[in-house]
Amino acid sequence: MKRIIIYLLIITTSLVLATACNKKLEEYNPGGLTADVVFNTPAGFEAGVSAAYSYNRHLWGKEAGYHLYEASSDLWMSGVDDPNTEITQFTNGLNSNNAIITANWQRLYSVINLCNALIARVPQSGLSDALKATREAELRMLRAWYYYTIVETWGGVHFTLEETKGIVTAANRKPVDTFYNQILADLRWAAPRLPNTTSDNGRITRPAAEAFLSKMFLYTKNYDSSYYYANRVINDYGLALQTSYAALWNMSNQVNKEIIWAVNYSTNLSLNDFQGPAGAIVYPGGHPRGAHNGHLMFLQKYDVRPGMVRDIPYGRPFSRYLPTRFLLDLYDETKDSRYAASFQDTWFSNKTANTTYERTLTTGVKQNFTIKPGDTAHWIPKRTVVSNEFRDSRPYEIFDRSNVFNASGTPKNTSNFISLKKFLDPTRPTVPEQQSARDAVIFRLADIILIAAEAKFMLNEPGEAAKLINKVRSRAVLAPLPANTLDIKDTDVSIDFILDERARELAGEQWRWFDLKRTNKLVDRVNLYNPQATANIKTYHTLRPIPQSQIDAVSNKTEFIQNPGYN
C-alpha cells in the first residue's frame, strides 16, 4: 500500500501546469506501474481516494494555511518569529516568487489532476456499485473543495475536468463563474449519494457537502439556497452545539456532534508524514509537515520569563502571530466565555523551585523579587493599563496594553502578548514535539448557523438572522449568567456584526481571509483594524500572485498572464 501511495504522488506531481522545469524530462518507471494498473483495482483505487484526502494536510492545521487564510486579515499581526511577514503584512515580498504560494499552487493542481483521474476511472475500479457511488461523491466533493481553494486564492485561472496525460504546455484562464458552476454541480451530484454519518473519522458526509453548498451559494448570491442547505445541516442530521465552547478544544472530545468535517490526524504521530530533520517534508519558510501545528503558532514567549520554563501544558511557542487589539476588544470577557476558552493572559510559575530575579521599577530603582512555584509569573491584561504603583508592588511581571501595543495599535512587544490557546495539546509526548494529534476542523455547526444568519440578513430578514446568531451567542454566555445575556436584536445585525461574531467564534480556524474576501471587506477591515498591514494592503491583494514558475512554463504567455498588481 505504501508503494502505491508513493507512486500516486509521483503521478499527481507530474502535471506540467504545476511545474516550472524548462528541461526535457526522461521518464523512467522501474516498477512498470501505470495509473490504469494502480486505479483499476479496488485496493489501488481506495489508495487513490485516500491520497486525494491527504492533500488537505498541506493547508489545514498547517503554517502555510494559517498564513494564507487566517493571518493576513484584520485579526492577526506578525509575532517576533513570523518568517513570512510578506503574507501577514501584504508587503512587497508577497509576489510571484513567494515559496508558500508556489508550493500550494503545485499541490492543489496535483490533487485536482488526481481527482479528475479517479473520477474518470470509477467504472473500472472494481468496487461494488454502492461503493462506486459513494467514492465518486467523495471525489467530486474533494474536487469542488480544492477548486474552491484555487479560485478564491488566485481567481479565474486554469480549469479542467480532464486528467492531464503527457506534456501540456498551454494553460487556460476560465472565469470565476466557471469554477463556481462546477463546484455547485459537483456538490449537488455528491450530496444525495453521501452517507448522513460515518464511523470513519475524516470522511465526507452529506451534511459536509450541504454545509459547503450553503457557503457556496453565498458567493453566487443565491441566498434562499444558502439558507435552505444551512437549515438542513442545522436540523436534519442530529448535529448539536457542544454545551460549552471550551469543550470543543478538549483533546478527548475531538469527535463530537458539532463537528461536520475535519482533517483527521493520527494519535500515532509517526503516521502523519513527519520524518524528522534529515528527511522532513518542509514548507518553504516553515517547518516539517507532520500533524496539526496550530498549537505552535499563536503562543507568546512565556518560557524566557522569570519563573517559567518551557513545558507540555503551556506549549512550544513559535510566536508567529499575535492578536490585533481589535480582535481582543471584540470580546466582553465578563459575559462571553469564548474569551477565556480561546485566549491565555496569565502564566503561573511552572518551575519546581523559587525564582529570584531583579527588575527595574518604574522609579528607576532595581529590586529583587521572588516567584514561588504555582504563583503568578506574568500577566498580560486585555484592557487594563495598570498604575506604576500597582506594577511596582507585584512580584510578577505585567505586560499591559501600553507595553504590548503602541498608541496606533501596532505591536510594541512582539514576544509577549495574549496567546490563542484553543489549539494547545497537553497530550503531546515531549516538550519539543512539533506535532499534535488534534484534528483540523473545516466545518462545524456554529459556523453554519452563522452562514444561515448571513443568508437571512441578505434576504432582508434581520429578525431571523438575529435568532440564529443568538443560538451561537447563548452557548457562549459565561455561567452563571442568564442564557439570553448576549442576545442581540434585529437592529444590531449587519454584515460587519456578522463578521465580528464570526471572529469571536472562529478566531484562528482558517476562515478569516475567505470571510473577508467573500463579503468584499478584506481591504476595508485590514485598513481599519490591522495597523501593521494598513500601509501595505491594496485592492489587488484580494487575489494572490500566480507563481512565476507557472507563468514561465506556459507557451501561451499572452493569454495566461499574471494577476493584476503583481506584474
Distance CA 347, CA 307 (A): 9
264 within domain boundaries = no
- 3-class secondary structure, 369: strand
270 within domain boundaries = no
pLDDT for 70 = 98
pLDDT for 362 = 96
Q: Given 420, 453, 472, which residue is the final one in a domain? A: 420
Q: 402-444 pLDDT, tens per residue?
A: 999 999 999 999 999 999 999 999 999 999 999 999 999 999 9
Q: 234-278 pLDDT, tens per residue?
A: 999 999 999 999 999 999 999 999 999 999 998 888 777 665 444
339 within domain boundaries = yes
- 3-class secondary structure, 321: strand
Q: Given 400, 420, 440, which residue is the final one in a domain? A: 420
- pTM (2 d.p.): 0.93
Nearest residue to 516 via CA among 65, 71, 64 = 71
Give the residues of the chain that fall short of pLDDT 50.
Answer: 1-30, 276-287
260 within domain boundaries = no
Say if residue 412 is in the same domain as residue 541. no
If one counts the domains in the chain, the total is 2
The domain that holds 144 is classified in CATH as 1.25.40.390
309 within domain boundaries = yes
259 within domain boundaries = no
Give the domain range for residue 381: 293-420
If you search the block for the grid coordinates 484553543, which residue do you land on? Answer: 422
pLDDT for 414 = 98
Say if residue 25 is in the same domain as residue 138. yes
- Name all contacts of 238-246 with Cβ < 8 Å and 24+ positions apart: 238/197, 239/207, 239/445, 240/445, 241/445, 241/446, 241/449, 241/471, 241/472, 241/475, 242/475, 243/475, 244/337, 244/341, 244/475, 245/337, 245/338, 245/341, 245/342, 245/475, 245/476, 246/337, 246/340, 246/341
Using an 8 Å Cβ cutoff, are 226 and 451 in contact? yes
pLDDT for 167 = 86
